[in-house]
Structure 1
C-alpha cells in the first residue's frame, strides 16, 4: 500500500484525498496530512494527521525530509513552500520519496512572480498577456494608471506574488460608500483611495497595475506525464454565483498544448485566462492542483489519482473527459470530534 502525504494545503485537499482513495481501480492508499491547525478541513480525509510546525527556508525542507523518512512516504504532494522543496528535491530522491512538483526551479521562480512569467511568455505566440506595469511607489502607480486609462482601458492591480485573489482590487471612478455598507463586500477601490494608501509609504512590495479583463474567466486544469507531455486539458468556465461550466473550447485547448510544449510542467497544473474584447489573455499558471479541480473532475477524469500514478511511473489509461457539464457545490457538515460529555447521548441516538 502506497503512502501519500499532503503538507499544508487548502481545504479542498479534503476532496483530492478522497478522490485518490476512491479511485476507479479500487487501489488502496494510506493518506497522511499536516497543518498548523490540527482541526483544519484538509486533514479530515486523512488516515493520519499531525500538527505541522511553522518554519522557513531549509528548516522547513528538513521537517519535510524527516516526516517522509519517519512515515516512509512514497509520494509527497506539497503546496506550501513548493519552491524551497524543489531546490532540494534530490534529497527526497535519496530517501525514496517521489515529489509531485516541477523540478525546474527557474521556471518555478517565474511562476511564483507573475510579472517574470508574463515576460517569459511574451513573444512566444502561446497566449496574449494583459497590458501591465510593475510598480512599488505611489508616483509610479499614478503613472501606470494614467497610461492605461489613456488607452481606454479599465484598471486593476494585485501583488506580483499573491496566491489566488489575495490583494486584487478593481479601480473604479467613484464609490457610494453608504450603499456599499449595506451591500455585499466587493473589490472596488477608487484611484484616490489607492493612491492615498500607497503614498503612506515611500516604497511598498511590487504590484502589477494592469488592464482589467472583463470577459469570461476560465481555469484550464491540465494533467501531464512526468516529462510534461500533456495528457488532458479541461476548461472550466466561472459563471455567476457558484456555477461552473466544463466547456469544450478549442482555442483554450490549443493554448494548453502550446504551454505544455514550451514549459513541460509535469503532473498537475492550472492555466487561468480571462477574455477581453474576445481575446483570451493570461492571468497566471499554478504549478499544482487548483482550488476548483474537484469540479473539473466531474468530467470523469480523476486527476489527483492519475497524477499520483504518473509520479509513481505507473501507466493508466486516461479517459476522455465529458464536457458540457454545468456544476456547482454546497456545504456539507462534518463532525470533527465529539466531547466525552456528548458521547453517551450519541450512543443513545444510535
Structure 2
C-alpha cells in the first residue's frame, strides 16, 4: 500500500480525496491529509489527518514536511502549500524514500507563477494571452494606460505574481470610489483612486495592465505525461448570478492545451484557464495545482485525480488506453449542468 500525503491545500482537496478513493477499488493508496484548521473539510475524506503548525516561514515549512514524512511513513507527497519550495527540495525528500509529485520543473513552476514572464512566453501558442503591459511605477502605469486605452474600451490590472484573483481590479473611469463601494463593485477601482495609490509609492511589485475580457470563462482540468495530454475536461464557468458549470467541447482550447503541455513538459494533474474577449478566446494562466472546480469533473466519465496519481506513482505508460479515449469522449458532452437547470 502506498501512503500518499496531501498537505495544506484549498478545500477542493476533499473532492480529490473522494475521487481517488472512488477510483482506488483495489485499495492501493492510503490517503493522509493535513491542514492547520481542525474543521478542514478534507479531513472527512482522508484515511488519516493531522493538524499543521501555523506561522512557519517557507524553509521551516519544508523542514516540517520532511519531518512529517518520516514520522508518518509517507511514500508520496502531493504538495499544495509551498509546492514550489518543496519541489525544489525533492532530492532531500528522495533521500527519505519520499517521491514528490511535480507538475513541472522548479524553473517552469517559477515561470508559470510570474504572469508577466509567462505571457511573454505564451504569445506563441494558438490561443495567446490577453494584450498586456507590465508596470512597476506610477509613471510606467500612465504610459501603459495611454497605450492600451487607445485600443481597448476597458482595462484591468492584477499583480504579476498572485493566486485566486488577489489584486485583480477592473479600472472604472466613471464611477467614483464611494459609488463603487456603495454598489459593492468589489472587483472595480476608480481610475483616479488607482493613480493616487500608485503615486504614493516610488516602486512596487510588477503588475499587469491588460485588456478586460468580458466573455465566458473556461477552466480546463488536464492529466498529461510530460509530453502528451492523456485526458482533459473543459468547463464553462457560470455568470455571476448563476449556479453550476457546463462541460463543453471547444477544439481550439484542446489544441492550445496540447501545445502548452508539450512546450512546458507538464505532467500529472493541472489546470488551464481561458476567457473570451473582443478578439476571441484568450489564455489567462496555467495552474500547476488542483483547481477549485475539480469536483465537477467527477461525473465526466474520467477520474482525473485517480488517473494522475496512478500515472505519477505507477507510470503513465501503464495506464489503460481507454482512459485517454474516455477523456476525449467527455469533450463531446456539451450540455452537462451541475446543480440546477440554467435554461
TM over 0.5: yes
Deviation at residue 255 of structure 1 after TM alignment = 0.7
Map 1:316-331; keep pairs closer than 5 Å.
316-317=319-320, 318=323, 319-320=326-327, 321-322=329-330, 323-328=333-338
Q: 1:51 to 1:231 in 2, by over 3 A?
A: same
Deviation at residue 173 of structure 1 after TM alignment = 2.0
Structure 2 partner of 1:344? none
Q: 1:205 to 1:75 in 2, by over 3 A?
A: same
- Paired with 1:86 and 1:247, the residues of 2 have a C-alpha distance of 33
- Paired with 2:336 and 2:178, the residues of 1 have a C-alpha distance of 36
Q: Tell me the SS of whatever aligns to 1:115.
A: helix
Deviation at residue 31 of structure 1 after TM alignment = 1.8
Structure 1 partner of 2:121? 120
Q: Which has the higher relative contact order, 1 or 2, with Cα contacts under 8 A spaced 6 or more apart?
A: 2
- Paired with 2:301 and 2:176, the residues of 1 have a C-alpha distance of 46
Structure 1 partner of 2:229? 230
Map 1:42-121; keep pairs closer than 5 Å.
42-53=42-53, 54-121=55-122
Tell me if the contact between 1:228 and 1:264 (Cα under 8 Å) persists in the aligned partners.
yes
- Paired with 2:13 and 2:98, the residues of 1 have a C-alpha distance of 20
What do residues 209-238 of structure 1 show as CA deviations (whole Å, max 9, x unaligned)? 11111222111111012x342101221111
Tell me if the contact between 2:218 and 2:236 (Cα under 8 Å) persists in the aligned partners.
yes
- Paired with 1:130 and 1:94, the residues of 2 have a C-alpha distance of 43
Deviation at residue 187 of structure 1 after TM alignment = 0.8
Question: Residue 203 in 1 paired to residue 206 in 2?
Answer: no
User: Which TM-score applies when normalising by structure 1?
Assistant: 0.87
Deviation at residue 24 of structure 1 after TM alignment = 6.0
Structure 1 partner of 2:238? 239
Structure 1 partner of 2:156? 156
- Paired with 1:178 and 1:61, the residues of 2 have a C-alpha distance of 44
Q: 1:177 to 1:195 in 2, by over 3 A?
A: closer
Q: 1:243 to 1:278 in 2, by over 3 A?
A: farther
Deviation at residue 273 of structure 1 after TM alignment = 1.2
Tell me if the contact between 1:9 and 1:42 (Cα under 8 Å) persists in the aligned partners.
no
- Paired with 1:84 and 1:181, the residues of 2 have a C-alpha distance of 38
Tell me if the contact between 1:218 and 1:237 (Cα under 8 Å) persists in the aligned partners.
yes
Q: 1:204 to 1:178 in 2, by over 3 A?
A: closer
Q: Tell me the SS of whatever aligns to 2:127.
A: coil
Tell me if the contact between 2:77 and 2:101 (Cα under 8 Å) persists in the aligned partners.
yes
- Paired with 1:287 and 1:44, the residues of 2 have a C-alpha distance of 25
What do residues 31-85 of structure 1 show as CA deviations (whole Å, max 9, x unaligned)? 2122222222233322322221232233222211111122111221111111111
Tell me if the contact between 1:156 and 1:169 (Cα under 8 Å) persists in the aligned partners.
yes
Farther off after superposition, 84-93 or 46-55: 46-55
Deviation at residue 285 of structure 1 after TM alignment = 0.5
Q: 1:26 to 1:279 in 2, by over 3 A?
A: same
Tell me if the contact between 2:127 and 2:253 (Cα under 8 Å) persists in the aligned partners.
no
Q: Which runs of 5+ in 2 are unaligned?
A: none
Tell me if the contact between 2:125 and 2:256 (Cα under 8 Å) persists in the aligned partners.
no
Q: 1:325 to 1:3 in 2, by over 3 A?
A: farther
- Paired with 2:152 and 2:50, the residues of 1 have a C-alpha distance of 53
